Amino acid sequence: MNFEMPQFAMAAPEIWLGVMLCVVLIADLFDRSQQSRLAFFLTQVTLLGAIGLALSTHWGVDRAITFNGMYVSDSLAAVLKVTVAGLSMVTLGYSRDYLRQRDLLKGEFYLLALIANLGMFVMASASSLLVLYVGLEMLSLSLYAMVAFDRDSRIGAEAAMKYFVLGALSSGMMLYGMSMIYGASGSLLIDTIATQAAAGDNLLLMAFGMTFALVGVAFKFGAAPFHMWLPDVYQGAPTSATAFLGTAPKIAALALFLRLLVDGLGDLHDQWQAMAVLLAVGSLAVGNLFALVQTNFKRMLAYSTISHIGFLFLGLIAGTPEGYSAALFYAISYGIMASGAFGMIILLSRRGFEAEMIDDMRGLNDRHSGFALVMLLLMFSMTGIPGTVGFYAKWLVLQSLIDTGMVWLAVVAVLFAVIGAFYYLRVLKAVYFDRLESPVPLEAPAGQRVIVALNGGVILLLGLFPDRLIEICRIALGL
Amino acid sequence: MIEKAIFYFFAAVLLLAATLVVTARNPVHSALSLVLAFFSSAALWLLIEAEFLGIALVLVYVGAVMVLFLFVVMMLDINLSVMREGFARYLPLGVLVGLVMVLQMLLVIGAGVVDLVPEEQVAAAGALDGNNIRLLGSVLYTVYVYPFELAAIVLLLAIIAAIMLTHRRRGDTKHQDIAAQVRTRKADRLRMVRMPSERDSDS
């Protein structure tokens, strides 16, 4: 095997993260304050730096490859990395207060988040099955630890255990599929696999491996029927971990899909399309119907995640660059919405009390009209009402579906979206129309108020002027 | 011919040992069977001339990991009979599901012609000469440097997560703080008390 010197500068975001996580690890030891201020500050600076580096090294690059074909740098990587790091910054900002109230504020939480980010970055620009898998494990392992972060919580330990066992199972599935793909193509490099798939060698074995890989991806997404872990983990994990787990890793799962099944096995699209239709319709049905009966807000959000994943898969099913860019847009807007929703739970909770039931939202408008307004925007956006970013996300996906002639699927999706409106609006009913006898004014630290306001503002702003983001997503997919 | 016989022998021992790992009642027996399984697979690796992997398996897993494992199993004294309840009841169903799955996969794969390893690659693998430590060494830090470094970070993550989840300062343990011991001054330990001196009044 010929070795050529890698262009290290191309992997600047990963190298930066790798170096800085060691710095945070050491710096946290010498931080005497009880609240890990230094670790928090350094983590945010690191993520901000990573965003800058990802933009400067990847944006506008036309698929450059280094590290002997294992690392790819293109605009898609830039968009994915910026989104992942940005969402992590927001969710870590939200979770600070939550952790402080529960005496969980330790530097390790930020450290785990940083390593998870590194894993997601690695996946976003992986061009080899081996690198893809190592990135995935780096992400998953840190997420398991974050879910188990509150050691004294029984339900947290149970959630972590379930997540760990099912995550290991899905990793096993994916690894098995990857080994079959390797057997069929004789290479770990995505580019070589793509040429082999295009040439049509060993298609049967490749499709066999692809099936298992798709199952693994669906597990990581939480698409039905591989969604069983999602509600329990969302509910059991500390909300700060749920907020992190429910946002950035979904972008990483999309990265996994795009790199493995589009870059690598794009030529097998005909074969994975039918399976993806099953996943999409299943997720839409399970997510929306089960969410209807939930009284626990965190569980409801978990099922709503499943339904959103179903919508995201619709964009992937279309199989056109337009469809992929619609899916990317959907994932980004979902990340913004989900971080806001979990942020609201964190905001309403206080020491010894988790505001996780829908009933806990009652009379929010009387307690703080600003937060109620953000809640309104979030729920409208998740429903897909015009004026919010969620509308354009759904619209783009449906458009790409109809363009490829799958009208029936679009009709099914819209039907389920209407069902979904019920449970989102039920939350708003609690917020605006249910009255408390003596509403206690809601107080939150200034930092938290700023993030919530920003989060709501972005949803509204992107809902009114989505053109820039749509354009960015199109450029990322080479349109 | 003789090579094939050796392969089947070790493969049979491996399968038997692996079955024993999950069926043995005594956890110590399970752990010992696992040692046997590792050893047999190391022998299989030696057969396909992957000496380094075989030796690493014996050194790392049999030598270090399994000894530690046995140690823990002996110390913990787990009562597995509770965990095994219903094992026999679920066994037929489990076997059936497993068999059906294997059959289905075979049907899918067997339906078409599958060329598992391209011929030219077998030839290429044969052309590489002997010493596979040298081969591994020449690619590990060059071609595979990126995944190798990432794997190192995964290990670091495992260390951090394990320590974070298990380490906590408990109030009831007695531990020495050497620095505090050295820093101590006379005033901390010695209390001067003024009291009337005693005298023998009898004399």
pLDDT of res. A49: 96
The whole-angstrom separation of Cα A204 and Cα B112 is 7
Q: Which of the two residues, B108 and A204, has the higher pLDDT score? A: A204
Q: Quick one: pLDDT band at residue B4, thresholds 50, 70, 90?
A: confident
Please name the member of B115, B144, B164 whose beta carbon is closest to the beta carbon of A202. Answer: B115
pLDDT tens-digit map of A347-361 = 888 877 888 888 888
Residues 6+ apart with CB under 8 A from A474: A321, A322, A325
Strands of A340-458, DSSP E: none
Q: Which of the two residues, B101 and A415, has the higher pLDDT score? A: A415
Cβ-based burial of A352 (10 A; exposed 0-12, middle 13-18, buried ≥19): exposed
Residue B109 belongs to some domain of the structure: no
Q: A118 and B105 in contact by Cβ < 8 A?
A: no
Q: B147 and A142 in contact by Cβ < 8 A?
A: no
- Across B191-199, average pLDDT: 81
Q: Is A6 on the interface with B (CB under 8 A)?
A: yes
- Is the pLDDT score of A418 beyond 90? yes
- Is the pLDDT score of B110 beyond 80? no
Q: How many domains does chain B have?
A: 2
pLDDT of res. A5: 86
Q: Quick one: pLDDT band at residue B123, thresholds 50, 70, 90?
A: low
Residue A218 belongs to some domain of the structure: yes
Q: A138 and B139 in contact by Cβ < 8 A?
A: no
Please name the member of B105, B142, B157 whose beta carbon is closest to the beta carbon of A142. Answer: B157
Q: A141 and B158 in contact by Cβ < 8 A?
A: yes
Residue A2 belongs to some domain of the structure: no
pLDDT of res. A24: 93
Query: How confident is the prediction for chain B on average, in pLDDT?
Result: 81
**What residues of chain A lie within 8 A of the CB of B102, using their CB?**
none
The count of CB pairs under 8 A between chains A and B is: 85
Domain range for B49 is 1-82
**What residues of chain B lie within 8 A of the CB of A142, using their CB?**
157, 161
Q: In a 3-state reduction of DSSP, which class is residue A132?
A: helix
- Across B114-119, average pLDDT: 56
Looking at the DSSP assignment, which residues form a beta bridge with residue A350?
A: A353
- Is the pLDDT score of B122 beyond 70? no
- Across B108-117, average pLDDT: 61
pLDDT of res. B53: 87
Please tell me the least confidently modeled range out of A2-6, A41-45, A48-52, B73-77: B73-77
Q: Is B140 on the interface with A (CB under 8 A)?
A: no
- Across A267-276, average pLDDT: 88
pLDDT of res. A377: 93
pLDDT of res. B107: 76
Same domain, B136 and B76: no
- Is the pLDDT score of B126 beyond 90? no
Q: Is B102 on the interface with A (CB under 8 A)?
A: no
Q: Sign of dihedral through CA atoms A316, A318, A319, A322?
A: negative
Q: Is A71 on the interface with B (CB under 8 A)?
A: yes
Q: Is B99 on the interface with A (CB under 8 A)?
A: no
Cα dihedral A448/A454/A455/A461 (nearest 10): 170
- Is the pLDDT score of B115 beyond 60? no
Q: Is A44 on the interface with B (CB under 8 A)?
A: no
Residue A277 belongs to some domain of the structure: yes
What is the amino acid identity at position A208?
Answer: F
pLDDT tens-digit map of A86-133 = 999 999 999 888 888 888 888 899 999 999 999 999 999 999 999 999
Q: Is A162 on the interface with B (CB under 8 A)?
A: no
- The CA-atom distances, in angstroms, between A415 and each of A285, A337, A360, A420 are 10, 21, 29, 9
pLDDT of res. B80: 61
- Is the pLDDT score of B83 beyond 70? no
Please tell me the least confidently modeled range out of A73-82, B64-73, B142-151: B64-73
Helices within A237-388 (DSSP H only): 239-245, 248-257, 269-292, 297-318, 321-348, 364-367, 369-383
pLDDT of res. B81: 62
Query: How confident is the prediction for chain A on average, in pLDDT?
Result: 91
Q: B114 and A25 in contact by Cβ < 8 A?
A: no
CATH number at B39 reads: 1.20.120.1200
**What residues of chain A lie within 8 A of the CB of B139, using their CB?**
1, 3
The whole-angstrom separation of Cα B40 and Cα A34 is 52
Please tell me the least confidently modeled range out of A57-66, A404-413, B87-96: B87-96
Domain range for A139 is 8-476
pLDDT tens-digit map of A187-208 = 899 999 999 888 887 888 888 8
Instruction: Please tell me the distance in Å from B142's CA to the nearest CA on chain A.
Output: 6
- Is the pLDDT score of A373 beyond 70? yes
Q: Quick one: pLDDT band at residue B84, thresholds 50, 70, 90?
A: low
* Nearest alpha carbon to residue A125 among A49, A63, A218, A206: A63
Q: Which of the two residues, A258 and B134, has the higher pLDDT score? A: A258
End-of-domain residue from the set B52, B82, B112: B82
Instruction: Please tell me the distance in Å from B103's CA to the nearest CA on chain A.
Output: 14
pLDDT of res. A4: 82
**What residues of chain B lie within 8 A of the CB of A3, using their CB?**
139, 142-143
The whole-angstrom separation of Cα A113 and Cα A242 is 12
**What residues of chain B lie within 8 A of the CB of A67, using their CB?**
145-146
- Is the pLDDT score of A392 beyond 70? yes
Q: Which residue has 């107080």 as its token pair?
A: A443
Q: Is B151 on the interface with A (CB under 8 A)?
A: yes
Closest Cα in chain B to A26: B160
Instruction: Please tell me the distance in Å from B155's CA to the nearest CA on chain A.
Output: 9
Q: How many domains does chain A have?
A: 1
Q: In a 3-state reduction of DSSP, which class is residue A349?
A: coil
- Across A57-65, average pLDDT: 90
Please tell me the least confidently modeled range out of A64-78, A143-157, A275-289, B162-176: B162-176
HEC string of chain B equals CHHHHHHHHHHHHHHHHHHHHHHCCCHHHHHHHHHHHHHHHHHHHHHCCCHHHHHHHHHHHHHHHHHHHHHHHHHHCCCCCCCCCCHHHHHHHHHHHHHHHHHHHHHHHHHCCCCCCCHHHHHHHHHCCCCHHHHHHHHHCCCCHHHHHHHHHHHHHHHHHHHHHHCCCCCCCCCCCHHHHHHCCHHHHCCCCCCCCCCCCCC
Highest mean pLDDT among A193-207, A307-321, B46-60: A307-321
- The CA-atom distances, in angstroms, between A139 and each of A32, A62, A89, A132, A253 are 29, 27, 16, 11, 10
pLDDT of res. B140: 87
Same domain, B67 and B133: no
pLDDT of res. B114: 57
Q: What is the CA radius of gyration of chain A?
A: 21
Residues 6+ apart with CB under 8 A from A93: A44, A447, A448, A451
pLDDT of res. B138: 84
Residue B124 belongs to some domain of the structure: no
Residue B75 belongs to some domain of the structure: yes
Residue A1 belongs to some domain of the structure: no
Please name the member of B114, B146, B151 whose beta carbon is closest to the beta carbon of A202. Answer: B114
The whole-angstrom separation of Cα A361 and Cα A263 is 44
- Is the pLDDT score of A437 beyond 70? yes
Please name the member of B150, B153, B165 whose beta carbon is closest to the beta carbon of A131. Answer: B150
Residue B111 belongs to some domain of the structure: no
Instruction: Please tell me the distance in Å from A414's CA to the nearest CA on chain B.
Output: 36
pLDDT of res. B121: 60
What is the amino acid identity at position B8?
Answer: Y
Buried/exposed A68-81: b ≥16 CB within 10 Å, e otherwise: bbbbbbbbbbbbbb
pLDDT tens-digit map of A248-268 = 999 999 999 999 999 988 888
Residue A3 belongs to some domain of the structure: no
- Is the pLDDT score of A1 beyond 70? no
Q: Is A372 on the interface with B (CB under 8 A)?
A: no
Q: Is A130 on the interface with B (CB under 8 A)?
A: yes
The whole-angstrom separation of Cα A457 and Cα A120 is 26
A105 φ/ψ angles, rounded to the nearest 5 degrees = -75, 95
pLDDT of res. B124: 60
- The CA-atom distances, in angstroms, between B163 and each of A295, B160, B168 are 36, 5, 9
